[in-house]
């Protein structure tokens, strides 16, 4: 449960407000004055703690991307099977997407249509240099006969299967009646994802 604004430090309050604005209105509607008004602080306080609008947005995004990055640690535990590691990763990744669905939707939109912010670039770099390789390695342990192209495709299917239905949210429910915010339905979704990734083709 999130702490109420009135017990946060000034810096925490500013970050929370920026996250709320990104979730509700997207990046294009963020201004220093809007942040100050909603956080109940003056513009000088924002400049003191962050220095610029981009810096405070990057700090807010880091709140989400650092949690997403941490889920990849599940894939490094060599004491458990590849399938167990993959299950833990999927569960934790989906839980974070569910926690911040509107922020993640707006991040994806901004990444496609605008200049990427530093934290977006950093997260994409992490995926390219480490995250995707960890997923491919784990799937490769489950499916040792799979070649590089098949591992890349299975990794792509996994990431798409994790992200797309959750991000679509209510629209998925309207299209086919599935509510992936329901725990039981989500567990079934994860099981189907695992079966598709782990099965022999």
* Annotated domain spans of the chain: 5-54, 61-198
**Band of residue 135 on the pLDDT scale cut at 50, 70, 90:** very high
CB of 44 closer than 8 Å to CB of 32:
no
Asked if CATH classification 3.90.550 holds for the domain at 61-198, the reply, yes or no, is: no
How many CB atoms lie under 10 A from the CB of residue 189? 19
pLDDT score at 2: 56
Give tens-digit pLDDT for 58-114: 898 898 899 999 999 999 998 999 999 999 999 999 989 888 888 888 777 777 766
Most confident of 23-37, 112-126, 128-142: 128-142
Q: How far is CA 196 from the centre of its chain?
A: 22
The model carries a pTM of 0.83
Determine the topology of domain 5-54 in CATH: Arc Repressor Mutant, subunit A (1.10.10)
Q: How many CA atoms lie within 13 A of 50 on its CB side?
A: 23
Alpha carbons 57 and 23: distance in angstroms, whole number: 12
């Amino acid at each position: 449960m999130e702490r109420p604004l009135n017990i946060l430090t000034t810096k925490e309050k500013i970050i929370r407000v920026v996250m709320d604005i990104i979730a509700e209105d997207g990046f294009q509607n963020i201004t220093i004055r809007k942040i100050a008004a909603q956080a109940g602080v003056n513009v000088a306080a924002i400049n003191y703690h962050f220095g610029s609008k981009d810096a405070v947005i990057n700090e807010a995004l880091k709140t989400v991307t650092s949690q997403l990055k941490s889920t990849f640690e599940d894939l490094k535990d060599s004491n458990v099977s590849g399938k167990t590691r993959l299950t833990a990763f999927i569960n934790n990744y989906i839980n974070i997407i569910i926690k911040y669905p509107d922020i993640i939707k707006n991040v994806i939109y901004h990444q496609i249509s605008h200049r990427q912010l530093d934290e977006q670039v950093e997260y994409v770099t992490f995926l390219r240099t480490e995250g995707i390789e960890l997923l491919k390695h784990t799937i490769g342990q489950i499916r040792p006969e799979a070649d590089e192209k098949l591992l890349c495709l299975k990794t792509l299917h996994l990431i798409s299967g994790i992200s797309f239905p959750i991000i679509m949210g209510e629209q998925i429910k309207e299209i086919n009646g599935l509510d992936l915010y329901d725990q039981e339905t989500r567990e079934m979704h994860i099981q189907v994802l695992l079966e598709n990734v782990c099965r022999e083709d």
